[in-house]
A and B are shown apart, each in its own frame.
Chain A
Amino acid sequence: MTKFNKLIALLFCFSLLLIISSCDEITYPYREGTHIDTTDTVSQKILLEDFTGFLCNNCPAAHELAYELKEQLGNQLVILAVHAGYYAKPNLQYTYDFRTAAGTEINDHFSVQAYPNGMFNRTAYNNKIPLGVDYWGAAINTLKNKTPKAKIELTPSYNETSHSISVDVKIKYLQQSSTNHYLVVQISEDSIVQIQLDKRKTPELIQNYVHNNVLRGSITSTWGDQVSSTVLPKEATITKHYDFAIPDGSDWRPEKLKIVAYIHDKDDTWQIVQVEEAKIIDN
């Protein structure tokens, strides 16, 4: 071996040592503690649109992960279970239809093809917007400390006689607005007992599965109403009022309904700017 070759070999072995040092061994505890944010300061809230279906046997695990994230983030996380696509389609045996026109439109717009999949403020993580469950924890961490651009306050009410919902949506801009900002107001429902497939159970079919945060419909159109046709300055406030009659013959239960309102950057980044939710009947 020539001197030069020996030198190369030595350099190589040295580089191996450098690589060897690149190791982190973790010892107990393996799990991080939970940190619920209970402060009432304005924070960037996160909308998780969980694309799901009652025939999707991997989906209940995703629902549980969403609840776990909610446990960590508290009110900072708003969950919408969007039943859409192949696994949400009723068949001759199971006829209950969770799907909504708005949900299907959003599903198709973002080309969601695998279930479960989730979008976090419709913001890309690792170049992908709809994300598989394994990326959820990481995606949320990139969003939760962002400075919010706006604050939304909801004042909903329910009229028992007319079976209708009213909601005031007050938007306060913390930064200058954009004319691409559109406000979407949707309705979700908790505790719907229906069937669901769960791969982890034998048999897989669960007759009494409790479906939460289910998207029931949209008060506005799917992509919403323009917040303002002019650019609003920081600190500007704008309030919008909506009335909505619960569809006749529907099985929606007012005490389980929630309003979910969000501003998104329509025709531009499509990202969610801010989101808020409130129960229609605060019990």
Chain B
Amino acid sequence: MQKGITCITLFIIMSGVLFSQSIFDQSSISGNLQFDGQYYYKDSVIGAADVPDKLLSNGFLFLNYKVSNFSASLRYENYMNPILGIDAQYKGNGIAYRSFGYSSDFIDVTAGNFYEQFGSGILLRSYEERQLGIDNSFDGLNVKIKPVTGLEFKALIGKQRNFWALSEGIVRAADMSISLNDVLGDLFSSDYNISLGGSVVSKMQPDVESFYYLPHNVFAYSTRLALSAESFSVDAEFGYKYNDPSAINNYSFNPGTALVINTALYGDGYGFLLNLHRIDNMNFRSEREAAGNNLTINYIPSITKQHVWRLATLYPYSTQMNGEVGLQADFTYTFPKESFFGGKYGTTVALNYARIQSLDTTQTVMDQKTGYAFRYDSPFFKVGDRLHYQDLNLEVTKKWDKDIKTTFALINIIYDKDLLEGKSSYGKVNSTIAVLECEYKFNPTNSLRTELQHLWSTQDSALHAPDNINGNWALLFLEYTIAPHWYISAFDEWNYGNEYDEKQIHYLNASVAYIEKSTRISFGYGRQRGGLLCIGGVCREVPASNGFTLSITSTF
């Protein structure tokens, strides 16, 4: 009897060990680390205020554990205290993200925190963008089902992250996407790929304030179509949101609409893109009081080119979710090798134009107390008079021989400073930027990249007070690379044409970066100008600063 029990016990233990071994053989752990620290000095000339803490830092550690179909992940965040420009409400540390999931071909379930996007994001997109201090992850339940190939359903319910708390509002949402080629199979021509989709999102937040009759539930829906073939593609999505008065739309009871159309045409050596969008009252947040970049449910990217040249980022565009009509055309052509313009290695020319205007609105029902409109009319096919932004730019990239490559860019931007920076008496800024970039390889491991940039600018109104960003700028950038480990760079950004002599400042910066496998360590010192930092049409204001920076990133 005793032998029997011992045998059974041993069997259970052994099978447990064997089972767990086979399970854990399939397990893996991965993650990444990021640390950004800055030591600040007071610099009144550039407007960098004294930072009593001296040293500020943001740190992130993400870990993901996978075993068989199960996964668990968490992210530790440390803001002690948040670096300048990142919302002070992040102050503190803790586990900001944790999730548990099961994933198979048929079903995918996540409980806890998750990011999600429906279609292009015009109704729902939660994402993390550390540089902007954005993290609007959901905390709830997310289910995805694929009953057959080419058909996917998604449904979620949750609250969004609000710094170290959760939003008051609850988001309930569902999405369906169908790839007709997969579902209909042979019935469909394989020359075209067509997919359709539709989403619904509902936000619940009780009306507890005392001035307005506010909707407890706000509903929104969208439909989308994507068609692509060998030489062209068309993506279109339309979204509608029922009345959603909020702080950010000045308590307008108008419904919201958004239409986004992206088309592309490609052929031998050329590509042509035409993008259009019309956004009307589509600021959708999980709390009607949310401001800044906080608690956004949806996302519509900027319809302008995302410039990489530093002086061209001085006047960036952010999507105006309360209303805008925009158009962007982009043409790229590569002259063939051995042709007159192409030379030995080919030449690429890119021409891009974007223009964004206001909506044509007529106020119909006014709020006498605030002077804002409760309701307004905005004919769908009419464009308003106010120019928000215009960008016309040309970029020519040419490789002269195997060691020398140059890029020349000419950019003209008209920027509505009052609208985009929340000012009232600046008017528009008209700037032209010229850039010449040269890259020279001394040998396979040593190379030098230089950028010479110049910005000419004029603005509508005379300045009333000294301002750190106006007039002409010049920039010289040098980067020496010793592959594969060292990147040494320095630049001087000089506002030599500032209307105020004392503000004609040199912003000098230098940094050294060392890369070892998947780890990058960089150390720098410099003066940073204040201004807007934009990524994908979402911006945050970054104050001017002076000091040392240390940045470490690593994936494992």
Question: What residues make up the interface of A, taking CB atoms closer than 8 Å to B?
Answer: 1-2, 5-6, 8-9, 12, 15-16, 19-20, 22-26, 28-32, 68, 72, 86, 113-114, 126-127, 132-135, 137-138, 140-142, 199-204
Contacts and interface: CB of A to CB of B under 8 A. Distances in A.
13 contacts: A12-B153, A12-B174, A19-B174, A19-B219, A26-B214, A30-B212, A31-B212, A68-B369, A113-B88, A132-B291, A133-B247, A134-B291, A137-B209
Interface in B252-277: 253
Query: DSSP majority for the B interface?
Result: loop
Contacts of B290: 134
Given A19-B173, A19-B202, A22-B217, A9 B147 contact: yes
Interface in B1-60: 49
A32 B210 contact: yes
Contact of A25 (B88, B145, B242): B242
A26 B217 contact: no
A132 B173 CA distance: 29
Contacts of B221: 20
Contacts of A127: 165
B209 A8 contact: no
A140 B210 CA distance: 8
A160 B173 CA distance: 68
Top 7 nearest A-B pairs by Cβ distance?
A: A137-B209, A23-B219, A134-B289, A5-B147, A134-B247, A24-B215, A22-B202
Contacts of B253: 26, 30
Given A19-B172, A22-B202, A22-B217, A203 B247 contact: no
B247 to A, nearest CB: 4
A221 B188 CA distance: 82
B145 A12 contact: yes
B148 A23 contact: no
A113 B51 CA distance: 13
B208 interface: yes
Contacts of B218: 23-24
Given A24-B216, A203-B464, 4 more contacts: A25-B215, A72-B210, A126-B168, A138-B208
B174 A26 contact: no
B147 A141 contact: no
A53 to B, nearest CB: 14
Interface in B214-230: 214-219, 221
Contacts of A28: 365, 374
Contacts of B176: 12
Contact of B147 (A1, A68, A86, A199): A1
A12 B155 contact: yes
Nearest to B204: A22
B158 interface: no
